[in-house]
Structure 1
Amino acid sequence: MGGDRMADFDALFDEYNDKVYGLAYRLMGDRDDAMDISQEVFVKIFRNLKAFKGESTLATWIYRIVYNTCMDELRRRKIKQVSIADKPDLVDDNISVEEIYEADERKKAVHNALYKLDDDQRAVIVMRDIQGLSYEEIADVLQCPLGTVKSRLSRARFNLKEILKDYMELFDEVDV
């Protein structure tokens, strides 16, 4: 294996590692699963990088590999993932314990609600609202028409708000 290919892969890994893990984590709902998926994705990228033809952006190609790998694993399991909420981040002294608790409860509520959506709806919410992909990039990743992405996202947001209605007191001052 040539040194240039390895250097290219190392640079690609450095640039996309956090993005791959973040998408896998939000689609799978578990840190260990996300780590396993991330490793599997980078093996696939390494093996198939020569086959990348530039028909989409490199980022879109990578997101498609992450998405497909996660969906394959979820289909294989055919079980709903149980979420593991993050612990509150380290915060400054100006934030009260109550604010930390409420922020943690909001995070848990959204995280749990995401895993009540079906896989396709969760995927579009994660890619658009959490990962910040454009509609066009999502359409490329999912290999579906732009209109399908927009309608799925609209339905997913509606369903997410419905699920979160029971928790609205947590979101009084937050734009959901």
Structure 2
Amino acid sequence: MSDYINGIDTFKELYTDHFQAVWGFCNSYLKDKEQAMDATQEAFFKLYERLNDSYTKQNAVAFIYITAKNICMDILRRNKFTIEDAEKLKEELPSEDSFLEEIATQEMIRCVHAAISQLSGRSLEIATLALEGKSNPEIATILGISLNSVKSLKKGMYTQLRKIIGHKYIILFFACISLKKFT
């Protein structure tokens, strides 16, 4: 498939692949799930309005995040009314570094979810429970298997994930577990 946007099917693909990540990005700024949903939908709508065949998928993803950030900033500004609040808002607004860090975090989470969705059976169950922050003993209890079985199945799961996302990227899985940002 071409890197350039080629119509509604590519837009649907972008929407399906990135909506949850952009929503998480907006929610990290707004701390309000409904406002984050509205901001995400507005960002995708603006992309849809401007989309043409000169956009690459990378351009489109960058556009979505920048637009989402601007929409979130507008919402945060509208939510503050007094001069004192405006001064506080200046201090509270995320920096450019935190903006890029949050994009990286949300995209990392999206990639890990995509890889995990390719697992099956016990591997999928164990990965899901691990991402929920469950310990090996808790996983054993939930699944009704021994602790050694959990350890053995986890080893197999990591092997499967390495095949899916590459050996050096397995660290993404562990980073996502430590972030516990899968809500």
Same fold? TM cut 0.5? no
Report which of the two structures shows the higher radius of gyration computed on alpha carbons.
2
| TM-score when normalising by structure 2 | 0.43
| TM-score when normalising by structure 1 | 0.44
Structure showing greater relative contact order (alpha-carbon pairs closer than 8 Å, 6 or more residues apart): 1
